[in-house]
């Protein structure tokens, strides 16, 4: 499955939750390098989801960003499916 398809399925799931506000963070010229693909506020908590395919690996900058988000009380993780997102949300509660 392509990363864009995984992102779409995760956003569909997150937007179905009444306690969630989320968006796809776009890279490129006006984006910020290393920022997770999906940013969300769920039940008052900050989440960053870096979406990867089964074989995809985060860059060094993405790993640093994930560590920084977690260090300041947010929750960030690499996810590969909606099931991974659900697991992160369960752990974050």
Q: What is the DSSP letter of 72?
A: T
CATH code: domain 3-92 is 3.40.1350.10
pTM here is 0.94
pLDDT of residue 13: 99
Domain limits, the chain? 3-92
Contact predicate 41/54, CB 8 Å: no
| DSSP-assigned states of every residue in 32-62 | -TT--SEEEEETTEEEEEEE--SS----HHH
pLDDT of residue 30: 77
Across residues 8-36, what is the average pLDDT?
93
Q: Is the pLDDT of residue 93 over 70?
A: no
Q: For residue 19, what pLDDT band results from cuts at 50, 70 and 90?
A: very high
Query: What pLDDT digit, counting tens, does each position of 30-82 carry?
Result: 778 899 999 999 999 999 999 999 999 999 999 999 999 999 999 999 999 99
Q: Which of 44, 51, 50, 52 is nearest to 64 (CA)?
A: 50
Q: Which of 43, 27, 34 is nearest to 88 (CA)?
A: 43
């Amino acid at each position: 499955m392509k990363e864009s398809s995984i992102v779409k399925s995760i956003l569909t799931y997150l937007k179905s939750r009444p306690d969630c506000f989320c968006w796809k963070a776009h890279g490129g010229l006006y984006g910020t390098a290393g920022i997770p693909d999906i940013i969300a506020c769920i039940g008052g908590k900050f989440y960053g989801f870096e979406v990867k395919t089964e074989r995809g690996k985060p860059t060094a900058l993405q790993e640093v960003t994930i560590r920084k988000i977690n260090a300041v009380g947010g929750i960030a993780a690499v996810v590969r499916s909606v099931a991974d997102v659900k697991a992160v949300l369960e752990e974050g509660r």
